[in-house]
């Protein structure tokens, strides 16, 4: 079934079951909204996701509901999307909630926490495990309504000018690391830097930072990091399944009729699923190109992984004592992680490990 037909059918089904025909007509006015993104146009994954979303909404409403997409810096800088949506500068924005953990550390849970959940687990917890109900109160306190939109999957650990063999190699390292994870890794001596994606290459090139992480091979190749730093580390333990969010000004969201709310929700979900699928498609070939060009792939040594895990748990304990909402959400996600991995190791992990072992065999 074509995407447009699917989205319109979903909205029509919902409307038919809950709204009389005259009310449907009244709830589908002509609207023109603006969406500001944290992403530059050069990232055809994340910025492209926003364009897909806007097209989904337009197609599903016969162009009655039009959304104009703006890249980072065109209306506000990439790290000010939450503020722009909250104060009504724009109606909606695409961003990673953990950029705003300084406002409330609970924002970390909207995207990813160190040693948290993988992409499928993140979906399950947010959509079925009570996660979005817990996060809705957080979004409401900042004048927003949030919808999950796009998961990158497990990310890479970043680009480094030198090899990282011991914990001492991290001491004093100026590392661009997104969101909440910087608060964890600084316990290991790292000096975390939060820089918007459009400013990452010049910061690395000028030596303002010593290392940088973004997402994975496809986006990292586009941003050119391999031209400056040749050591590419994995895994990005702070983002086992990084989830983006569509933020909508809460008053604007409440002003929408149920039909439009359903179309927006369905369109965001569809655009996000296509984005995750795109990452899974393009990352493998991008990795091959990078390695062929001289990139040195490295795994973080076990002592660094274990020290990072310890630092994460220490951070959680401290924040949970000081912030009741953080504790409630942490308790929920950690209980979910425990149960999920008890199952995951039985089927998913054993299957994947065998598949990797058999690579190259027929």
Walk me through the domains of the chain, giving residue ranges and CATH numbers.
3-152+241-281 (3.40.190.170)
Residue 117 and residue 240 in contact, taking contact as beta carbons nearer than 8 Å:
yes
Residue-wise burial string across 77-101, b where 16 or more C-beta atoms lie within 10 A, e elsewhere:
bbbbbbbbbbeebbbbbbbbbbbbb
Query: Which pTM value belongs to this model?
Result: 0.89
- Give the bridge partners for 3, in sequence order: none
Taken in order 10, 12, 13, 15, the sign of the CA dihedral is positive
Task: Single out the residue of 35, 69, 67 nearest to residue 260, CA to CA.
Answer: 67
Residue 273 has a pLDDT of 97
Residue 1 has a pLDDT of 46
What angle (nearest 5°) sits at the alpha carbon of residue 231, between those of residues 228 and 233?
130
Residue 76 and residue 279 in contact, taking contact as beta carbons nearer than 8 Å:
no
Which stretches of the chain score pLDDT less than 70? 1-27
Residue 352 has a pLDDT of 95
Residue 175 to residue 159: CA distance in whole angstroms: 9
Residue 197 has a pLDDT of 81
Residue 228 to residue 320: CA distance in whole angstroms: 39
Antiparallel, parallel or unpaired: β 296-299 and 65-70: unpaired
Residue 337 to residue 312: CA distance in whole angstroms: 15
- Crossing angle of helices 46-60/258-292, nearest 10°? 150
Task: Single out the residue of 43, 31, 51, 26 nearest to residue 270, CA to CA.
Answer: 51
Task: Single out the residue of 113, 76, 114, 116 nearest to residue 95, CA to CA.
Answer: 76
């Amino acid at each position: 079934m074509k995407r447009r037909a699917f989205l319109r059918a979903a909205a029509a089904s919902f409307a038919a079951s809950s709204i009389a025909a005259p009310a449907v007509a009244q709830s589908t006015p002509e609207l023109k909204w603006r969406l500001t993104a944290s992403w530059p146009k050069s990232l055809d994954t994340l910025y492209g996701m926003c364009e897909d979303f806007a097209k989904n909404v337009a197609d599903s409403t016969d162009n009655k509901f039009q959304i104009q997409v703006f890249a980072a810096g065109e209306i506000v800088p990439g790290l000010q999307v939450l503020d722009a949506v909250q104060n009504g500068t724009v109606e909606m924005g695409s961003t990673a909630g953990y950029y705003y953990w300084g406002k409330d550390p609970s924002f970390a849970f909207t995207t990813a926490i160190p040693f948290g959940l993988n992409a499928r687990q993140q979906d399950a917890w947010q959509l079925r495990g009570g996660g979005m109900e817990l996060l809705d109160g957080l979004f409401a306190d900042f004048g927003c309504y949030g919808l999950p939109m796009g998961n990158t999957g497990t990310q890479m650990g970043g680009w480094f000018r030198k090899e990282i063999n011991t914990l001492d190699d991290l001491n004093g390292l100026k590392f661009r690391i997104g969101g909440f994870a910087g608060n964890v890794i600084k316990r290991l001596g790292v000096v975390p830097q939060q820089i918007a994606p459009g400013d990452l290459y010049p910061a690395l090139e000028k030596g303002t930072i010593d290392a940088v992480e973004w997402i994975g091979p496809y986006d990292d190749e586009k941003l050119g990091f391999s031209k400056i730093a040749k050591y590419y580390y994995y895994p990005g333990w702070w983002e086992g399944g990084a989830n983006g969010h569509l933020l909508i000004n809460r008053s604007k969201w409440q002003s929408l009729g149920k039909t439009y709310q359903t179309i927006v929700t369905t369109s965001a979900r569809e655009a996000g699923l296509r984005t995750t699928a795109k990452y899974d498609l393009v990352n493998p070939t991008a990795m091959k190109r990078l390695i062929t060009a001289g990139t040195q792939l490295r795994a973080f040594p076990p002592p660094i992984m274990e020290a990072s895990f310890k630092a994460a748990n220490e951070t959680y304990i401290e924040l949970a004592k000081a912030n009741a909402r953080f504790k409630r959400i942490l308790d929920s996600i950690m209980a979910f992680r425990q149960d999920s991995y008890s199952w995951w190791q039985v089927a998913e992990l054993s299957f994947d490990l065998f598949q990797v072992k058999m690579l190259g065999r027929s």
